[in-house]
Structure 1
Amino acid sequence: MSLFDSFAMVDWSGGNDTGPTPRKDAIWACVVRDGKVRALDYLRNRVVAETWLRDLIETELAAGRRLFLGFDFPFGYSQGFTEAITGHDDPLALWDWLETQVEDSPNANNRFDLAGLINSRFGGKGPFWMNALRRDIDGLPRTKQDYHNPFPDRRAVETRAKGSFTCWQMAGAGSVGGQVMMGLPVLSRLRHAFDGKVAVWPFQPLDKPVAFVEIWPSLNLGSAPPDQIKDAWQVEQVALTLSRLSDQELTEQLDVSAPEEGWILGVPQDRPNIAPPPLRNDCFALPAGVNWTPVDEALALLQSRLHPVTGIETVPLLQSVGLVLAEDVVAKRSNPPQPNTAVDGYGFAGPAADGAQVMPLTEGRAAAGIPFDGQVPPGHALRILTGATLPKGVDTVILEEDVTLKDGHIAFRGPLKKGANTRRAGEDVVEGDTALSARRKLTPADMALLSAVGIAEVPVHQALRVAVLSTGDELVELGDAAGAGQIFDANRPMLMSLIGRMGFVPVDMGRVEDNRDALRQRLDEAAAQADVILTSGGASAGDEDHVSALLRDAGAMQEWRIALKPGRPLALGMWSDTPVLGLPGNPVAAMVCTLIFARPALSLMSGEGWVEPQGFEVPAAFEKRKKPGRREYLRARLRDGRVEVFHSEGSGRISGLSWAEGLVEIEDGARHIQPGDPVRFIPYGSFGL
């Protein structure tokens, strides 16, 4: 099967409506299928173009064809800009942000005003420049005089592509800034309109039926024939050329890594020949030669190498809820301690034969806590209330609703088996038996059981104390003012709450800027106060990833590249003999990694043992194609017996965590899920939340 069935190329424009007559500097689009041009269309404005694109995608999807759709403007900005605007490094989050900010109509738009507004967040002298309107715009310079760009002037790909232009220039010869600002909102709307059907290169694997790809025709094509409009000729040539590439040739060109800035198809990347350093000899080290570790292998390694780290103490039963039993608990008394009645009624020596039965009543009664002092003669009955100990001469009870009482006698209709409506002594728990086993986290229900069998104190593991620490210069405390390039610390409140809901004791270690001396001191403080340290941010291998750097300097750090989505390498190490788990800084990835990896690891270290979440199969209410290689966890919830998934898989969409009620786990292999297919749903409650 070919990678794609249809190829389309669009030459975009950031300007106004160009009128009914085909002309240059407009929007042109071409579709090629089976090596033939199926459409070459002039689109006079972006409203017409967006409708054309929707119709094309709907047509291709309905026909079951895979569509390769190219656009001639950047899909991302220079490194750092996306995070400064949205608080995340996910470029698709910037697409969505621009969609909310851009105002567009066939004859007017706010691109210059928006550029000035963005510039004002960075001092008003950049990153955008060139105001083409007659009126002045605060923050948007007309020229580059006194211009200052807080971000790189060009993306990495633009430094390698001769003839490319910077996305910061909003007008004038060679500008693409207007195209980007007016094009990305359209692509964002199309992504959401065809949720789960569109993948964006190179940010996402191309495992969906529609691919959006950045292509610049002018980088590879010469002048158009004199009798043709250049833009129209170029989109036709690009679409034809793409359709004639073999799958291998196209795959090689698509093999690009550019997670934030994007890339231009056809511009080669340098791939250095470099070998990884040897793995360290510590408890977290992976086997030699391992690069990407499957989720199950990573979990098995954690399970085999971790152990309980808390002390043991004896506490009063009422103080033990949520703690983990350190030893088996043996019943000191049977439950129930004596045979008793399960109902209100009348007791006698059974069984009762078939037919009408009449018995004289013995004077007195038996009630819970007030036993009958005496013996019930054969053939007699005694008034008896629920929970009362069965007196001598009673082993069967008839419900009072089934009895007629008159003149000191009862009448009822048999048959009635011997032992009916009674409880045997010790039928629940027998004295000397194990009531609860070690490694059980005690629940309110356990309080009832242990109280019933006479247990006043229990041996337990001390509560696992988990230090939670956020790192990063960009973080701002809730309640403070957030400046340009800063974001509120969302991870620490989330992780503190997760730790508490899971039954551990969270220890708030605050946040630390990107300063190794300050971080070193805070890790020392955390190791003195907690049994385990959980950090977020700074756990990878970049210049500002100080958590991993300090752990590496300490000689006990591993970075596991786990085949997981969403998620990044999981940093694992030891600091002053205290285990450290370094989570990603992205809140979605941080929560997923906490649920999948940290929760069972913390449970084991707390003395409870390895706890796996309970999942169950339910029909899918969505469609998804997945390539082999990584295990994926989708934010999901149950509705009407089917499981829905959040409309975006982007890890920048924190709202999806709140929207969801659990996760859909999709196995490591390839999968094409269609509505109605069984998928594994793991509710948040299965993680102890």
Structure 2
Amino acid sequence: MNLSHKNHPLTPIDEALEKLLIDLPRTEGTELVTLADACGRVLTERLVASINVPSHANSAMDGYAVCTKDLAFEPTKLKVVQRIAAGQVGKRLSKGEAARIFTGASIPEGANAVVMQENCSLVGDEVEILQKVKTGENVREVGEDIQVGEVLLHAGHRLRPQDIGLAASIGLTKLSVQRNLTVAVITTGNELVLPGNELKDGQIYNSNFFTLSTLLRLLNVEVIELGIVEDDLVTTTQTLEEAARVADCIISTGGVSVGEEDYVKTAVESVGSLDLWKLAIKPGKPFASGKVHNTQFFGLPGNPVSTFVTFVLLVRPCLLAMLGCKSPMATLFQAQAAFDSDKSGERQQYLRVYLGKDGKGRPELKSCDNQSSGAGSSLCRADGLAIIPPYTSVARGDTLEFIPFSELLT
């Protein structure tokens, strides 16, 4: 599909995302990885518990294991006959006996509660219980956390550190996950040079590649660097075709606008098609998506903020969806604005904001001073993006939707 820039309507971001997520190719192939390598990967099968956790009743705190039938009167004195540390198994308690016990230690037979040590008084080999104790008090029962046969995680879940600990707690050493994506990254522009070189007149350093490659590695993506492509149609086309041969997905920066030196859009359409071009968002209007042959393509604007914003809002959820992730979208929060903003136009705005506190200690959003799409340093001062819908003005105290970077940079 060739999309003409003449009178081309801007696509709202929600509509664009819906279309993208439907049309995306899905990655084939799974692999078995160790727990140490599983964080951030996407599960391909259910995680089902094969054991109870805990596997034995144990103490929730340091204290004394007792039988509540021995505590008919307050206070009551019991003879301390044993000491049980975590990892040890005690002997059965008889009537009138107690065991010194520590957090995590198995509850001995004959005991049905643990009295925290602060509610006891030890004199010699006798402990005096100073308050009433209920059956089961301070005892972690078998399977209280996890029961045999319980489905703990579902296929399509993206693994977090706590999930890795969960898998370890039921004795697993490896997990079945979706294979990693390979993404070819192309940066375009005659003005670009790599850091480490001396800048000549008219040149800038290629910061977008390093931003994108870092963002991709947060998703465990294998990055294929295809270098800086000069503003030339033949070279751009050849590089795109090379990328399509070696990668699951292609991401380019620059060259998707309507300037005379912007060749990426034309090159993509010559060897594939564009399904989306020009979004109703600010920054990030000249975003493009389509296919190079059968390989997914995303064309990001060249300005550093636009590159970052379109990646985290559009490309990131798409890559996660390609991996089979069932929840690829970031969670939105609400917070009060600590700034005023004139009425927006037809494009939904994503303002760089940082968190502060109002006079009552409540969180509020403060706007970064420079909202230019070329001001990359503002991203380092920001804590996230505040959303201003089309044709909307903002007054101090208004409630805005807010996407913290913590939701986008994992």
Name which one, 1 or 2, has greater alpha-carbon Rg: 1
User: Are the equivalent residues in 2 in contact too, given 1:662–1:683 (CA < 8 A)?
Assistant: yes
Q: 1:295 aligns to what? A: 13
Equivalent of 2:51, from 327, 333, 344?
Answer: 333
Equivalent of 1:408, from 125, 129, 142?
Answer: 125
Tell me, in whole angstroms, the C-alpha distance in 1 between the residues paired with 2:315 and 2:325.
14
Which amino acid in 2 is paired with 1:349? C
TM-score in terms of structure 1 length: 0.56
Q: 1:506 aligns to what? A: 223
Tell me, in whole angstroms, the C-alpha distance in 1 between the residues paired with 2:24 and 2:329.
15
Equivalent of 1:662, from 376, 384, 387?
Answer: 384
Q: 1:466 aligns to what? A: 183
Shift in Å, 1:302: 1.3
Structure 2 residue matching 1:442: 3-state secondary structure: coil
Which amino acid in 2 is paired with 1:659? R
Shift in Å, 1:610: 4.4
Which amino acid in 2 is paired with 1:681? F
Q: 1:519 aligns to what? A: 236
User: Are the equivalent residues in 2 in contact too, given 1:353–1:416 (CA < 8 A)?
Assistant: no
Equivalent of 1:622, from 309, 318, 339?
Answer: 339
Tell me, in whole angstroms, the C-alpha distance in 1 between the residues paired with 2:26 and 2:327.
10
Q: 1:356 aligns to what? A: 75
Shift in Å, 1:386: 1.4
- Give the structure with the larger strand fraction: 2
Structure 2 residue matching 1:673: 3-state secondary structure: coil
Tell me, in whole angstroms, the C-alpha distance in 1 between the residues paired with 2:343 and 2:28.
41
Which amino acid in 2 is paired with 1:579? Q
User: Are the equivalent residues in 2 in contact too, given 1:563–1:630 (CA < 8 A)?
Assistant: yes
TM-score in terms of structure 2 length: 0.92
User: Are the equivalent residues in 1 in contact too, given 2:66–2:98 (CA < 8 A)?
Assistant: yes
Structure 1 residue matching 2:177: 3-state secondary structure: strand
Q: For structure 1, which segment, 416-425 or 436-445, has the greater mean C-alpha deviation from structure 2 after superposition?
A: 436-445
- Give the structure with the larger helix fraction: 1
Structure 1 residue matching 2:79: 3-state secondary structure: strand
Shift in Å, 1:537: 0.8
Please list the CA deviations of residues 263-302 of structure 1 after superposition, one character each: whole Å capped at 9, or x if unmatched. xxxxxxxxxxxxxxxx46xxxx9xxx98221111111111
Equivalent of 2:400, from 653, 675, 679?
Answer: 679
Equivalent of 1:395, from 112, 136, 141?
Answer: 112
Which amino acid in 2 is paired with 1:328? R
Tell me, in whole angstroms, the C-alpha distance in 2 between the residues paired with 1:353 and 1:500.
63
User: Are the equivalent residues in 1 in contact too, given 2:121–2:129 (CA < 8 A)?
Assistant: yes
Residues 570, 387 of structure 1: alpha-carbon distance in 2 compared, 3 angstrom cutoff: same
User: Are the equivalent residues in 1 in contact too, given 2:286–2:301 (CA < 8 A)?
Assistant: yes
**Any residues of structure 2 matched to 1:30-429 within 5 Å, and which?**
279=1, 291-350=9-68, 352-353=71-72, 355-362=74-81, 364-372=82-90, 374-429=91-146
Residues 626, 405 of structure 1: alpha-carbon distance in 2 compared, 3 angstrom cutoff: same
Tell me, in whole angstroms, the C-alpha distance in 1 between the residues paired with 2:27 and 2:297.
13
Name the structure, 1 or 2, with higher relative contact order (CA <8 Å, separation 6+): 2
Which amino acid in 1 is paired with 2:144? E
Q: For structure 1, which segment, 619-628 or 430-439, has the greater mean C-alpha deviation from structure 2 after superposition?
A: 619-628
User: Are the equivalent residues in 2 in contact too, given 1:431–1:453 (CA < 8 A)?
Assistant: no
Q: 2:308 aligns to what? A: 591
Which amino acid in 1 is paired with 2:56? Q
**Any residues of structure 2 matched to 1:545-584 within 5 Å, and which?**
545-584=262-301
Tell me, in whole angstroms, the C-alpha distance in 2 between the residues paired with 1:631 and 1:672.
11
User: Are the equivalent residues in 1 in contact too, given 2:184–2:223 (CA < 8 A)?
Assistant: yes
The yes-or-no answer on 1:479 pairing with 2:196 is yes
Residues 502, 354 of structure 1: alpha-carbon distance in 2 compared, 3 angstrom cutoff: farther
Structure 1 residue matching 2:164: 3-state secondary structure: helix
Residues 484, 341 of structure 1: alpha-carbon distance in 2 compared, 3 angstrom cutoff: same
- Aligned residue pairs total 402
User: Are the equivalent residues in 2 in contact too, given 1:310–1:463 (CA < 8 A)?
Assistant: no
Which amino acid in 2 is paired with 1:678? T
Q: 1:247 aligns to what? A: none
Tell me, in whole angstroms, the C-alpha distance in 1 between the residues paired with 2:8 and 2:265.
19
User: Are the equivalent residues in 2 in contact too, given 1:350–1:419 (CA < 8 A)?
Assistant: no
Gaps spanning 5+ residues in structure 1: where? 1-278
Structure 2 residue matching 1:562: 3-state secondary structure: coil
Please list the CA deviations of residues 608-646 of structure 1 after superposition, one character each: whole Å capped at 9, or x if unmatched. 134222222222111111245220011110122221112
User: Are the equivalent residues in 1 in contact too, given 2:59–2:104 (CA < 8 A)?
Assistant: yes
Shift in Å, 1:310: 4.3
Q: For structure 1, which segment, 519-528 or 461-470, has the greater mean C-alpha deviation from structure 2 after superposition?
A: 519-528
Tell me, in whole angstroms, the C-alpha distance in 2 between the residues paired with 1:599 and 1:353.
63
Residues 314, 460 of structure 1: alpha-carbon distance in 2 compared, 3 angstrom cutoff: same
Shift in Å, 1:422: 0.9
Structure 1 residue matching 2:74: 3-state secondary structure: strand
Which amino acid in 1 is paired with 2:334? E
Structure 1 residue matching 2:68: 3-state secondary structure: coil
User: Are the equivalent residues in 1 in contact too, given 2:272–2:292 (CA < 8 A)?
Assistant: no
What fraction of aligned residue pairs are identical, expressed as a percent? 34
RMSD of aligned C-alpha atoms? Answer: 2.2
User: Are the equivalent residues in 2 in contact too, given 1:344–1:384 (CA < 8 A)?
Assistant: yes
